[in-house]
Amino acid sequence: MRRWLRVTLALMRKIIIPAIAVVRLVFAIGAAVVIYSIAEPAQLRPARLVVPPVPIVVPNPYNHLSSQQDGITASGNCSFTPSQQTLFAPVLALVPPGPNRGARAIDAINRTIPFVRRFFFHPEFNPELERVIDQMPPRASTLIRAGALYADAGIPWKREAGSVHEIAVTGHPDNSDFAFSIVPEYAQPIAPFNFAGLFAITPIESLSPDARDLIPHNVLGRFVADVSLENFGAAALMDVAAMSLRETRGDQKGPWDVHEGESNSPNRGALARLKRDAPKLSERFAHYFEIHNLLDEFSTTEGPFVLVNIDARVRTEALKPYPHLALFYNRLAPRVTIDSNIIDQRGNRWLFAGFDHGRIRLVFSLRDGVLVPLNTRSRPAADAVDLSQIRRGHWRAVNTITLEKFRAIFGLENIAFTTAYRRTDDAFVLTSHMDSVPQLIAPPGIKPMIRFVADEFLSGLAHGHGGATISLTSGRDAHGVFHITVAFTGELHNSPTLAMLAHIGDTIVEANDVRVRDDERRLTQEFFDALVADFNNARPEILGLDGCTQR
């Protein structure tokens, strides 16, 4: 029995902790790619000041989709952009139409680049915040250990009414760095290019004064992060995404593809445009990724359509300058699968994203430069939809993650979120809540034990307070400053076994966690620097777009 328990705990450490970390990932792709499913206004939750560690969401066949309702505009007047136009043309969507639009877009980006560089690549923490970070568990187990963190006297919690323990953080540019520090209370930034964050834990059941330093059984965890910008918010970024889709194509001349995944003329045309307009970024992609296929172009009776059909792998040998990230990736990638789909109620698929033992897949379809759903034969199945025209909607997203260990498959499936979206001018609200309990994947002989350890935690996450909620909100305040706010709220059950498991996992992960993140940051900066260099070189072409008609 003891040996069985040890094996079970080892498996849980390998499966549940990474899987919960993946939930943070699961919402991002769906949010970025398809905001199409339509909901009645009453179904849309009011936005709260909450933000997520953005997860990839994936709707299932029960999504309610219709291009005839609630502000959806079916896109009959869109088209792909001319092949000679620079791939950086979508940056015009960051600023309103009018004279000197190219110059205004360039100025907006120039003001934002230093903030992005400081915020993501040069963070600095004051000593008090550094001590708090040192006491926090590695990122994958923070949710599991929320109850223990609540009772940790070493963390400088601010104790509010109702037994709330919270920590507020602020951030601002400081020369070439971005300085973060603890502050007495959370306040939304009033100046652009600043940050405010809040981490709060509240017991579900009220505690007596003499029990407020004990570990509560259930807590409500809340995380909020607000970034202020000067010239644009998330709504403008959605418009940039919509314009970028119109740049996504091959040569549109034929010969047309007959089979999916053929690396031929459309691939060469798309890669040639990327190399022409973004040579440094193209070189970085070629250095780090082996691209087997990028897109396919097919001819139908309704006209040609583009199947973005990315099939790629990381060139692991290219990660040698980042040894800690390389070790982490080489250990994990051959054993992990992630499967995410966005599907409407008719079974038509809007997006597939997958990671299969190192194979990276991303599939969606475009007609005339806008999104169109696919049927089971990967052919267009309904009207195309312009992301920039959507004003409200909802969808349901489902994901699966598995890990191979001990010659068996373990993981979580049915990681499901119901998502509501609303946009009015510059105001943008995206809210997702977990609507069902994720299901464990494990061999029959050990699955009951794993369920015993994890079920209460997963059930609380799915059903407590309406399900774990992740939101992304954006808008402009009374002073004209744009805000992008991400938040997470969820009921977290204290499980002594899971807490012990998390502690064991922490001792293993902690030694490499910071170094892996440093490698991630340096690698990301490579791509960012390449993109900025290509953008700077494209300025004359962007300025030249002022004389063109922009859709």
Torsion of CA 129, 134, 136, 138, to 10 degrees: 130
Residue 19 and residue 411 in contact, taking contact as beta carbons nearer than 8 Å: yes
Residue 427 pLDDT > 50, yes or no?
yes
Q: Is the pLDDT of residue 233 over 60?
A: yes
Distance CA 551, CA 548 (A): 10
Give yes or no for residue 10 having a pLDDT over 80: no
Q: Give residue 5's pLDDT band: very low, low, confident or very high (50, 70, 90).
A: very low
With bands split at pLDDT 50, 70 and 90, how would you rate the model's confidence at 1? very low
Q: Which two tokens stand for residue 100?
A: 């000197």
What mean pLDDT is reported for the chain? 80
Task: Name residue, tokens 């949010």.
Answer: 31
Mean pLDDT of 195-202: 94
pLDDT mean over 250-267: 76
- Poorest-confidence range of 127-136, 211-220, 330-339? 211-220
> Of 378, 386, 329, 394, which Cα lies nearest the Cα of 358?
329
Coil, strand, or helix at residue 497? helix
Q: Which two tokens stand for residue 116?
A: 């992005």
**Nearest Cα residue to 189 out of 200, 198, 202:** 198
- For 149, phi then psi, to 5°, come to -65, -40
**Token pair for 406:** 């001990």
Query: What are 446-501's pLDDT values in tens digits?
Result: 888 878 878 888 888 888 888 899 999 999 999 999 999 999 999 888 766 665 55
Q: Where are the domains positioned within the chain? A: 2-547
Q: State the pLDDT at residue 335.
A: 92
Q: What are phi and psi of 20, to 5 degrees?
A: -65, -35
